[in-house]
Amino acid sequence: SNTPVKVAVTGAAGQIGYSLLFRIASGALLGPDTPVQLRLLEITPALKALEGVVMELDDCAFPLLAGVETSDDANVAFDGANLALLVGARPRSKGMERGDLLEANGAIFTAQGKALNASAASDVRVGVTGNPANTNALIAMRNAPDIPQERFSALTRLDHNRAISQLAAKTGAAVTDIKKLTIWGNHSATQYPDIFHAEVGGRNAAEVVDDQAWVENDFIPTVAKRGAAIIEARGSSSAASAASATIDAARDWLRGSADGDWLSMAVASDGSYDVPEGIVSSFPVTTKDGSYEIVQGLEINEFSRGRIDATVQELTDERDAVASLGLI
């Protein structure tokens, strides 16, 4: 029999959810032969809006959609989940300090970590999109002691895809010609998109570009500030592209990265590249059958070292802040 894969999505009535759910239900995540059951979590005041989204899912008559459950209880939504996409989070509101934001999200991700620990399937993979994504993933991981920490990741695939698009435009290449790009560190303005190991049509990208000023003054800030540019243009934050990256990341994690290429994923550091063990930081990874491996042995030049150290410093500061709040 073809048992449906249970995919839990939090924040399902939000903007990203409105794009994400329909693509999962259409087969973009698990392929054309795998039925999917959606298990949707929202806060109580958003359950009515979520019912409207479910009506639209019904109205698509997706052949692969084997059912939709909704709840405002994480233990119900995560029950038996094989994949949990944690999209819902508390946005920063006016006048909110960084510490307040970490605390508000800490409450959400401690509870969801505990619920995953208690209710999810034994093969669960957890992808965190909701911001601050790296630290939210760290909190969920540390509150789910029975789930191996390699089952948690935070989304830097949108940054990765943005960087591929910018590099393709600069070099006149197709996006499919760009390989081995890396996002290091935090999904924040300090992230470091690294082209020194990337390839454009099989040639070293930094040599093809041959313009360090462009890398420093144009490429890196454009990728790192893309989210703000989209808010400025669209009047709301990136949603369809964030949903698309959430799908790409989960699909490649479960089904594997391409030969001769790698991906960017924020995962628990094992100390590789002198990133302190335990923080959730973005690395170059290869994936296969739901597991990842951090790409080893890359030579890090002085410029990259400084950028990696800066974004990692921000992550250790966030880790220290949530530790002092008792969240991990």
Provide the minimum distance between the beta carbon of 270 and ligand NAX in the complex, in angstroms, as a whole number.
22
Active site residue 197: no
Site of tokens 């789930």:
147
Q: Tokens in use for 96? A: 């909110």
- Spell out the residues 6+ positions from residue 274 whose beta carbon is closer than 8 angstroms to its own: none
> H or E element: which one contains 86?
strand 83-86
Question: How many whole angstroms separate alpha carbon 276 and alpha carbon 268?
Answer: 9
133 binds ligand NAX (CB under 6 A): yes
Q: Which is the catalytic residue, given 187, 226, 307, 319? A: 187
| Binding residue (CB under 6 A) for ligand NAX from 4, 26, 27, 43 | 43
Provide the minimum distance between the beta carbon of 33 and ligand NAX in the complex, in angstroms, as a whole number.
29
Provide the minimum distance between the beta carbon of 104 and ligand NAX in the complex, in angstroms, as a whole number.
9
Q: How many residues bind ligand NAX (CB under 6 A)?
A: 29
88 binds ligand NAX (CB under 6 A): yes
| Binding residue (CB under 6 A) for ligand NAX from 13, 120, 139, 206 | 13
Q: Tokens in use for 271? A: 């100390």
Q: Tokens in use for 18? A: 């409105």
Judged by CB under 6 A, which stretch of 40-48, 174-182, 196-204, 216-224 contacts ligand NAX?
40-48
Question: How many whole angstroms separate alpha carbon 83 and alpha carbon 39?
Answer: 10
Judged by CB under 6 A, which stretch of 13-21, 28-36, 56-64, 170-178 contacts ligand NAX?
13-21
Q: Does 23 appear as a known binding residue? A: no
**Main-chain phi, psi angles of 190, to 5 degrees:** -90, -5
Decide if 281 contacts 184 (C-beta within 8 A).
yes
Decide if 219 contacts 193 (C-beta within 8 A).
yes
42 binds ligand NAX (CB under 6 A): yes
Site of tokens 């709840």:
71
Partners of 114 in the β-ladder = none
| Nearest by Cα to 171 from 132, 206, 137 | 206
Q: Does 16 appear as a known binding residue? A: yes
| Binding residue (CB under 6 A) for ligand NAX from 11, 106, 113, 185 | 11
The span from the first CA to the last CA of the chain, in angstroms, equals 41
| Binding residue (CB under 6 A) for ligand NAX from 8, 101, 155, 328 | 155
What residues between 164 and 203 interact with ligand NAX by CB under 6 A?
187
Judged by CB under 6 A, which stretch of 15-23, 29-37, 252-260, 310-318 contacts ligand NAX?
15-23
Provide the minimum distance between the beta carbon of 41 and ligand NAX in the complex, in angstroms, as a whole number.
5
Provide the minimum distance between the beta carbon of 1 and ligand NAX in the complex, in angstroms, as a whole number.
31
Give one DSSP letter per residue of 303-322, joined into a string: HHHHHHHHHHHHHHHHHHHH
Edge-first strand listing for the sheet containing 203-204: 178-179, 199-200, 203-204
| Binding residue (CB under 6 A) for ligand NAX from 238, 264, 269, 287 | 238
Q: Which amino acids are annotated catalytic?
A: 187
Footprint of ligand NAX (CB under 6 A): 10-11, 13-17, 41-43, 46, 87-91, 108, 129-131, 133, 155, 158, 187, 227, 237-239, 242
Q: Residues forming the annotated binding site for substrate?
A: 92, 98, 131, 162
